[in-house]
Structure 1
């Protein structure tokens, strides 16, 4: 993608984030400052070819498969002692593909409470939950205990399976009647 196309594309992403729709060709010209429809058409064609935009059956533009890619410029940022940065160039990550392996069985659920604090899950965090996958002892699961939902570590002892919180201020949970695993937590994120 040309450097100028990259700047135009960034403006289109911001416009889409604010409006939930991409502008018309004349709207794109106005947004990015192009003077002719042929220049807009050529730029849109390049963005389509790169997979950032697609045309819908009614000719409207829509986000393409690469529309939500985000640049990964650094390999990591140390949270401890400062170190030299390792630049990975301009790799791109699709956040959805990074977090979601199978969309048909994956959902996002909001955490409420602080019983998983020491597991790094805070009140208001979003967890990625895969339904229908086999859960293992030690994994974080969304469970249904006697008809009520909770998120905890799956644990097992001589008495059988139970749920262990990620906060010592909370007690282990054992089902009186039934313990079902709703899904396995595969990731999480939060907005600051």
Structure 2
């Protein structure tokens, strides 16, 4: 059977939406077909199994969440400094907040990877490659710090984002709160990003 690459991508994007909304248990062929607005049975023609669907979602999510090179170039216009790294980290948080669906789906995929070897292999490869690329970028750009600086920033900011996306009440950010209270929570997140950079990145 001839398969349409664009249709496959649309199905994987639909799978990511389902993951973010329903969790790993909700990721079924039927749910993906419904999310993509295609006839029942379509996704089962594109993916050999549910395991294959998870693996393809893990492979595609990094493409979906990758930053635009032009945006990176714009953020990097100032000279290398600790302040620039702080700007980069704030930008990362803003991007992840804007791509909330993708980030939540990634968390679901990480948990599911503990039970699916093929998915674990794919996520490990992709995240390791992403981290190594960030290290090269940091060093070649002349930013302060060394490879371990990048690793520590990676783990610290990702840990912060897990709290922001899964337990926003830790920061006082709750859907029932007023706009003013949510703004205060955003300021606290911003303050913590600055603190992470100041503690990890050499002056």
The TM-score range, normalised by the shorter chain, is 0.3 to 0.5
Higher strand share: 1
Higher helix share: 2
